[in-house]
Amino acid sequence: MIICSSSANLRRLFPVNTAKDWISILETSYILRRLPPWFANVNKQLSKTPKLFFLDTGLVCCLLGISTPSHLTSHPLRGAIFETFVVNEMWKRQANACQPDALYHYRDGAKNEVDVVEATGEGLRLTEIKSGATVATDWTRTIERVSSFLPDVKASRVVFGGQGSSTRHGTTVVSWRNFSP
Which pLDDT value is given to residue 41?
Answer: 54
pTM score: 0.84
Which pLDDT value is given to residue 68?
Answer: 94
CA distance 155 to 30: 30
Residues 41-84: pLDDT tens digits?
545 556 678 899 999 999 999 999 999 999 999 999 999 999 99
Which pLDDT value is given to residue 11?
Answer: 58
Which pLDDT value is given to residue 109?
Answer: 81
Q: Please compute the mean of the pLDDT values over residues 124-135 and round it to a whole number.
A: 94
Residues 86-96: pLDDT tens digits?
999 999 999 99
Instruction: Using the predicted structure, report yes or no on whether residue 2 has a pLDDT greater than 70.
Output: no
Question: Among residues 148, 87, 146, which one has the least CA distance to residue 114?
Answer: 146
Which pLDDT value is given to residue 1?
Answer: 32
Instruction: Using the predicted structure, report yes or no on whether residue 10 has a pLDDT greater than 60.
Output: no
Query: What is the chain written as a DSSP string?
Result: ----SSHHHHHHHS-HHHHHHHHHHHHHTTSEEEEPBP---TTS-B--PPEEEES-HHHHHHHHT--SHHHHHT-TTHHHHHHHHHHHHHHHHHHHTTPPP-EEEEEBTT--EEEEEEE-SS-EEEEEEE--SS--GGGGHHHHHHHHH-TTEEEEEEEESSS-EEEETTEEEEETTS---
Lowest mean pLDDT among 12-21, 76-85, 167-176: 12-21
